[in-house]
Amino acid sequence: MIFRNKKLKGSFQSFMKHPCWIIVLIAVSFGSGIIFKQHFPQPPYIYQESAESHPSWKVCFTPTSRCLPLILTAIKEAKESIQVQGYSITSPEIGGALRDAHRKGIKVIVIGDKAQKTAKYSQINSLLEVGIPVFIDDKPAIAHNKIIIVDDLTVLTGSYNWTRAAELRNAENLLIIRDKELVRQYADNFQKRLLKSKKHNLIVLKTSK
């Protein structure tokens, strides 16, 4: 360190020879750590994993935590397939992630509730436009599942609808599970609902000349 003031240089050298400077540095470091932690907290979602390496799980709760990043990451990391069931599919972020996955060659298939055919902000038309097959499960009163199956290895489920309201306004839960047997049951149920669903076609809105 360069000092232009000789008195200041002498004072600094005397301080460095004294053992108390170590205590001062420790105190400054500790205080800086507290400030950093306050301004840069840990990721807001809750991450928990079982003691065993497999199966594993993560859980997230809104509105106190942000769950959308977990959903987008799961979709982005897909290698082969993404199967979606949704009562409400209106999130543009999730819709965009599914379209991106399709463009990368990932097999994406969607089953929605009949309300999605006319719902405001529904993403199903934008999914159909890029070639993602969409089916409507209209046999039950409502198709209330909220499920995303990734590569037949991971399932995302819970009360969380695929909507912005679920992320920003509602009190919801999202559970991400990696368990081969459990995911197989979800995948089997997906196929059962798919067989009872009707293929949906792109709705082209007519414009006046």
Instruction: Tell me what percent of the chain is helix, strand and coil, each rounded to the nearest 5.
Output: 40, 20, 40
Tokens of 103: 């463009």
Catalytic residue among 100, 107, 117, 151: 151
Catalytic residue among 146, 188, 192, 209: 146
Residue 104 is among the residues annotated as catalytic for this protein? no
Q: Which neighbouring-strand residues pair with 60?
A: 174
Q: How far is CA 63 from CA 53, 89, 162, 168, in A?
A: 29, 18, 14, 6
Catalytic residue among 144, 196, 200, 206: 144
Report the chain's C-alpha Rg in angstroms. Answer: 26
Residue 209 is among the residues annotated as catalytic for this protein? no
Q: Where are the alpha helices (DSSP H) in 18-175?
A: 20-39, 68-76, 92-103, 124-129, 164-168
Residue 144 is among the residues annotated as catalytic for this protein? yes
Tokens of 164: 């912005």
Judged by DSSP in three states, 186 sits in helix
d(CA 162, CA 167): 9
Residues tagged active-site: 144, 146, 151
